[in-house]
Amino acid sequence: MARYTGPKHKLARKVGVNLLDKTSNSLQRRLNVPPGVHGKKRKRRLSEYGLQMKEKQKAKITYGLLEKQLKNLVKAVQTKKGETGEMILSLLETRLDNMVYRLGFAKTRMNARQFVSHGHILVNGKKVTIPSFQVKIDSEITIAEKIKQNPQFLSAMEEKEGNVLPFLKKNKLSGKLVRMPKKDDLEIPFDMQLIIEYYSR
């Protein structure tokens, strides 16, 4: 299945929550109206399966994942010891594209994915072009020289100056994962338990 590349407002309205990296007055007004000509009429109570599916969609939209990627990640974690929801969240948050976004090197996760894919991001001094690459504790993420004057990068750096999340450390144009993320570190816009239940069927 190909990754969705259409209007992001449609995705947010589909699940009724703004899961995008930015907002607008237009989106806020229409957030509870599903996309399509019959959007206003389609208000009905979701089944348990429908609720699970909606939460899964939220996670996929938030992190820009394909169905297969999220399914494989959940299935892999379910075989390990520990709190399943927190382990899933840790793996989602430590994807390289998400780390680039969280460190403020990109305005959106989509921009971050493009930076990684185009070879603009280094991990421990080596170019990595796989957005789903899992960053390990103490790995250093730096910006390639050729992107330092990129308008998107410069705009993100201006906009996101300030504190980073507690599991990260940032030093101007480099950043590091200092520990694995925990649920308490983040505001999660989806119900992880319902996602686990969906893939446990």
pLDDT at 138 over 80: yes
What is the CATH classification number for the domain harbouring 33? 1.10.1050.10
- On whether residue 3 sits in a domain, the answer given is no
Same domain, 109 and 59: no
What is the CATH classification number for the domain harbouring 125? 3.10.290.10
- On whether residue 73 sits in a domain, the answer given is yes
Same domain, 76 and 99: no
Q: How many domains does the chain have?
A: 2
Same domain, 100 and 175: yes
Strands, sheet with 126-127, edge to edge from the N-terminal-most edge strand = 126-127, 121-123, 140-143, 174-177, 168-171
Same domain, 81 and 137: no
Residues 6+ apart with CB under 8 A from 5: none
Q: Which domain holds residue 157?
A: 95-179
Q: Give me the pLDDT at residue 96, please.
A: 98
Q: Give me the pLDDT at residue 33, please.
A: 63
Same domain, 69 and 107: no
- On whether residue 63 sits in a domain, the answer given is yes
Q: Give me the pLDDT at residue 115, please.
A: 95
Q: Give me the pLDDT at residue 157, please.
A: 81
Same domain, 104 and 167: yes
pLDDT at 71 over 60: yes
pLDDT (average), residues 62-77: 94
**Predicted TM-score (pTM) of this structure:** 0.79
Question: Among candidates 143, 96, 145, which has minimal Cα distance to 121?
Answer: 143
Residue % of the chain over a pLDDT of 70: 77
